[in-house]
Amino acid sequence: MTDSSDDESTHGDNGMHAVMTYRKGRTYKIESNIDSSARKEVVLDVLTDYPNHSEVFSSINSSRVVARREHEAEVLQEGKWNVLWLSGRFQTLVQMREDMPRGRVLSHSLKSSIFHAHDGEWRIKSLRSGGCRISHVATSKLKGRLPPGLGRYLAGSFLSEENKIMIELKAAAERRLPEAAPESESKESSHGHTPFGWLLTHFRREW
């Protein structure tokens, strides 16, 4: 991948697929999807349970709703970033807009010291199996320009983080599945354990 324009794709665990587009040294677009045995409504429930995002996504340390209106919320989140041997924390204020009948949740960064803009869209579609397909598209434009090579490194890091976010969301939704029938009680539901935290996890800037 060059630092001007290129695409990178990866297949992650549990059937997750993601494609990264990286352009002009500071703009990233990622598209990903994964299938879940949880119902559409359950996944949407997890996504819009903003105060508990820190229990679902490992990249988020805390999440707090600061304003709430019908089908809309402003959420202040604190997360963690890692770049090579450096690490730290960040804060971002995100506007969430909910279109539950259509299975859509939109995110927009209202305040960030890292991005000129960040927009995301979650789409949850029911499957005939009774489960659902989780799709996520996010576009981020960084402030300033990156040194040669760092943009390529971050593209790979964002893909890894997106893989983790999708698997964590899937696992959180599937933990809410009903208990197995008594004759199968020896079999347990599969268990496992981020905007939206992935977007800022690789930079260090003051809030």
**Whether the Cβ atoms of residue 44 and residue 100 lie closer than 8 Å to each other:** yes
Measured CA to CA in angstroms, residue 119 lies from 136, 138, 139 at distances of 11, 6, 5
Cα(69)–Cα(101) distance, integer angstroms: 17
Q: How confident is the model at residue 6 (pLDDT cuts 50, 70, 90)?
A: low
Cα(36)–Cα(15) distance, integer angstroms: 10
Residues 128-187 pLDDT 10s: 999 999 999 988 877 666 666 676 777 777 788 888 899 999 999 999 877 533 443 433
Kindly tell me if the per-residue pLDDT of 29 is higher than 80: yes
Classify burial at 98, counting beta carbons within 10 Å of its beta carbon; exposed 0-12, middle 13-18, buried 19 or more.
Answer: middle
61-73 as b/e, with b when 16 or more CB fall inside 10 Å? Answer: bebeeeeeeeeeb
* Chain mean pLDDT for the chain: 77
Mean pLDDT on 3-28: 64
